[in-house]
């Protein structure tokens, strides 16, 4: 006689075989850089569902508006139905580009007008009060450290915290999607990630025992591409690479805007890099130690100045050897929410070698790739990623750039940042990304004081 325990074991055994087969198939296809096209069709289906949900939400809002106000302006079709934004055109939290430089120029023009006046008026402070109110209500820096908003609900709870009942069918679809993400996608992705990480550790240990030489470099390149392609399937990544003729070459530096720790995986799917970054513990620490066995990488402690000097020296030595892998650097030094590019640190631009810029832009409709490290642990972030619909992004390789004779490192860094921002459709900000963790520097406060003093001076 069969008991409940026997039935559960039997069902689990029947489900285990196809699950193992699916995982093995995904890993084999990923390691050989092939795909059956299922992820692409899956994303197309999601877009249709999002569009249907958007129409339902707009219809409900229109009915509520008619009920509240009695009438509503409509289009020829009866109501406005703007389409989902194209990739990369979601509602941008950073929609104002007010910076200290623009304020400074405004102050100078205002000062020229003040030359016609001979005394101080209380209204002279109105503009400064306006700037302060704008900084509080629409601070572009603080918003760069918050999750990017989207213009239409993508059926993820975290993108619609104040979700209320709209229709029975939409609620059913949300519930089915919730169960699919947590009962199907999450176990599958966790399994792929765990197996991929173990495979990475084993392969890099094997490569580490090989004698230095051309064969070891070829094996390292093969292992890195294979393992990172497997890990990218751990969050159903769909990556579109553009202008691949501008991939970074050996003995050079590649710089990119920074949104997430998976930026490394995204770029390493298509090219091999030597990495430079802060030393971590936990899961990231395991990956760092594994990667260091196979080839040379540079890890440092951000808080130690002596470590920074050693890093600069090692970076210079690395790029002077033409057969070394290109060094991948994220000059912002911290994760930004993929709506803007913040100040690039000048250290990596002081080395005399070509710089290969890369722009990365994630599509927020399928999942938010931004890691808010001040609020989320790595485990929380990975759980959020693996319960998203997918990670879809575009990567643009830009032509190599060289520092001009009349440029210092800071000017060169700013020029490269500008090119990345333009290519990725991101807002360019002059602020330091470390404001996420630190207070505003005294020099910036002095600059604002100088601007105000220029306003109240008179002849």
Q: Indicate the pLDDT class of residue 304, thresholds 50, 70 and 90.
A: low
Judge whether 354 lies within some domain: yes
**Poorest-confidence range of 27-41, 79-93, 305-319?**
79-93
Q: What pLDDT does residue 432 have?
A: 73
φ/ψ of 340, rounded to 5, equals -150, 170
Range of the domain at 399: 157-428
Q: What's the chain's average pLDDT?
A: 77
Q: What pLDDT does residue 32 have?
A: 79
Q: What pLDDT does residue 82 have?
A: 38
Judge whether 235 lies within some domain: yes
Q: What is the CATH number of the domain that holds 422?
A: 3.40.1130
pLDDT at 244 > cutoff 80: yes
Judge whether 264 lies within some domain: yes
User: Structurally, how many domains does the chain consist of?
Assistant: 1
What average pLDDT does range 430-446 have in this prediction?
70
pLDDT at 346 > cutoff 80: yes
Q: What pLDDT does residue 454 have?
A: 72
Q: What pLDDT does residue 69 have?
A: 58
What average pLDDT does range 150-173 have in this prediction?
72
pLDDT at 275 > cutoff 90: no
What average pLDDT does range 372-381 have in this prediction?
82
Judge whether 449 lies within some domain: no
231 versus 165: the higher-pLDDT residue is 231
Q: What pLDDT does residue 70 have?
A: 57
Judge whether 407 lies within some domain: yes
Task: Express each pLDDT in 73-126 by its tens digit.
Answer: 444 433 333 344 444 444 443 344 444 444 444 544 544 454 445 555 666 667
Judge whether 376 lies within some domain: yes
Q: Indicate the pLDDT class of residue 180, thresholds 50, 70 and 90.
A: very high
pLDDT at 391 > cutoff 60: yes
Provide, rounded to the nearest whole percent, the portion of the chain with pLDDT above 90.
20
270 versus 137: the higher-pLDDT residue is 270
Judge whether 101 lies within some domain: no
Q: What pLDDT does residue 77 have?
A: 38
Q: What pLDDT does residue 390 have?
A: 92
Q: Indicate the pLDDT class of residue 240, thresholds 50, 70 and 90.
A: very high
Judge whether 78 lies within some domain: no
């Amino acid at each position: 006689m069969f008991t409940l325990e026997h039935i559960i074991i039997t069902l689990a055994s029947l489900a285990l075989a196809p699950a193992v087969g699916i995982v093995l198939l995904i890993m084999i296809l990923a390691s050989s850089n092939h795909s059956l096209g299922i992820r692409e069709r899956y994303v197309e289906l999601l877009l249709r569902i999002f569009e249907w949900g958007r129409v339902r939400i707009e219809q409900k809002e229109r009915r509520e508006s008619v009920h509240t106000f009695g009438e509503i302006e409509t289009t020829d079709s009866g109501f406005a139905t703007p389409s989902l934004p194209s990739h990369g055109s979601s509602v941008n939290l950073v929609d104002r580009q007010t910076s200290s430089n623009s304020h400074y120029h405004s102050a100078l023009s205002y000062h020229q007008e003040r030359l016609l006046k001979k005394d101080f008026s209380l209204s002279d402070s109105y503009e400064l009060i306006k700037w302060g109110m704008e900084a509080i209500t629409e601070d572009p820096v603080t918003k760069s450290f918050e999750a990017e908003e989207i213009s239409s609900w993508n059926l993820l709870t975290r993108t619609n915290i104040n979700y209320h009942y709209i229709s029975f069918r939409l609620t059913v679809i949300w519930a089915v999607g919730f169960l699919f993400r947590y009962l199907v996608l999450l176990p599958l992705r966790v399994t792929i990630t765990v197996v991929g990480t173990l495979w990475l550790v084993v392969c890099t240990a094997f490569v580490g025992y090989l004698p230095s030489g051309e064969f070891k470099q070829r094996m390292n390149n093969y292992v890195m591409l294979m393992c990172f392609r497997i890990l990218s399937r751990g969050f159903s990544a769909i990556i579109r690479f553009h202008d691949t003729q501008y991939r970074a070459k050996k003995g050079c530096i590649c710089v990119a805007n920074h949104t997430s720790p998976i930026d490394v995986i995204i770029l390493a799917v298509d090219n091999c890099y030597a990495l430079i970054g802060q030393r971590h513990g936990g899961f990231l620490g395991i990956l760092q130690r594994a990667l260091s066995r196979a080839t040379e990488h540079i890890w440092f402690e951000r808080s130690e100045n002596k470590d920074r000097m050693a890093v600069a020296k090692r970076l210079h030595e690395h790029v002077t050897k033409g057969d070394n892998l290109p060094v991948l650097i994220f000059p912002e030094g911290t994760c930004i929410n993929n709506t803007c590019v913040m100040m690039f640190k000048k250290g990596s631009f002081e080395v005399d070698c070509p710089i290969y810029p890369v722009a990365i832009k994630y599509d927020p409709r399928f999942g938010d790739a931004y890691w808010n490290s001040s609020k989320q642990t790595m485990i929380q972030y990975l759980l959020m990623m693996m319960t998203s619909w997918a990670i879809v992004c575009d990567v643009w390789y830009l032509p190599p750039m060289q520092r001009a004779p009349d440029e210092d490192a800071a000017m060169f860094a700013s020029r490269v940042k500008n090119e990345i921002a333009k290519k990725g459709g991101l807002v360019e900000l002059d602020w330091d990304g470390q404001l996420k963790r630190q207070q505003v520097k005294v020099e910036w406060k002095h600059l604002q004081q100088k601007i105000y003093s220029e306003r109240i001076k008179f002849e």
